Amino acid sequence: MMRVVHKVWLDRGGKAFGDGPCDLLKGIEQTGSLHQAAADMGMSYSKAWRLIQTMEKRLGFALIERRIGGVSGGGSQTTSKAKTFMRRYEKFRAEVKDLTERTYQKHFGSVRLNH
Amino acid sequence: MMRVVHKVWLDRGGKAFGDGPCDLLKGIEQTGSLHQAAADMGMSYSKAWRLIQTMEKRLGFALIERRIGGVSGGGSQTTSKAKTFMRRYEKFRAEVKDLTERTYQKHFGSVRLNH
């Protein structure tokens, strides 16, 4: 069975956003913690932190903000700008994935290969 | 300036076809020589040969055939199946590229970033 594979990301003077960063931010939204989100992805805290820093620099806006104190002892949360950007990226991503698959089917759906 | 980057390839038990292989085959079509086509891409002959072998195995059909003797002393040429597959891939590739760019513009064309 032949299939199409595709990768897509946003570039702004280097890789600025993509599936991995989006997943990390979603983890932060869900857990309220960069530590936890990184651990859930099998990523070291320092690597996750550097990734966020690099994306923020390239995109030009803050992606996460610290929550100080409180019952949970603080943590991180995505900024409102990050949330808007993530939702936009997720729609874009789903649409590109769907169009790539449809275009593949259009051109290669009828191709029969041996063995 | 933010932009979208994307990569796409065909998989069949591993990478079976993509932009690099297609460029190599186009070079063979134009030069009639795997040696020359590989050199023009800055690729070693052995690497180009292994690439063709791997693709042929995964796709299940021959991509190039030897031309024995003649005025030019032989060489390689793409098979008719390869030509059909290449033209199909090129149309698919151009369409995916165009759709990805359009989808990016649709979702991110109006986004204004700082600095």
pLDDT tens across A16-47, in order?
A: 999 999 999 999 999 999 999 999 999 999 99
Residue range A57-76: mean pLDDT, rounded: 83
CA closest to B6 among chain A residues = A8
For every residue of A78-111, DSSP letters joined together read: E-HHHHHHHHHHHHHHHHHHHHHHHHHHHHHTT-
pLDDT single digits (tens) B37-59: 999 999 999 999 999 999 999 99
In eight-state DSSP terms, residue B110 is T
Helix (H, G, I), strand (E, B), or coil: what is residue B106? Answer: helix
Question: Residue written as tokens 């199946």?
Answer: B81
Q: What percent of chain A has pLDDT over 70?
A: 94
Q: How far is B64 from chain A (nearest CA, A)?
A: 17
pLDDT at A66: 85
pLDDT at A107: 97
pLDDT at A87: 98
Contacts of B43 (CB under 8 A, 6+ apart): B24, B51
Helix (H, G, I), strand (E, B), or coil: what is residue B4? Answer: strand
Give the global pTM.
0.89
Interchain CB distance below 8 Å, B4 and A9: yes
Spell out which residues of chain A touch residue B103, defining contact as CB-CB under 8 Å: 92, 95-96, 99
pLDDT at B71: 61
Spell out which residues of chain B touch residue A9, defining contact as CB-CB under 8 Å: 4-6
Interchain CB distance below 8 Å, B12 and A6: no
pLDDT at A73: 60
Q: How far is B109 from chain A (nearest CA, A)?
A: 11
Interchain CB distance below 8 Å, A100 and B8: yes
B4: which strand partners? A10
Residue ranges of chain B whose pLDDT lies below 50: none
CA closest to B8 among chain A residues = A6
- Cβ(A21)–Cβ(A51) below 8 Å: yes
CA closest to A92 among chain B residues = B107
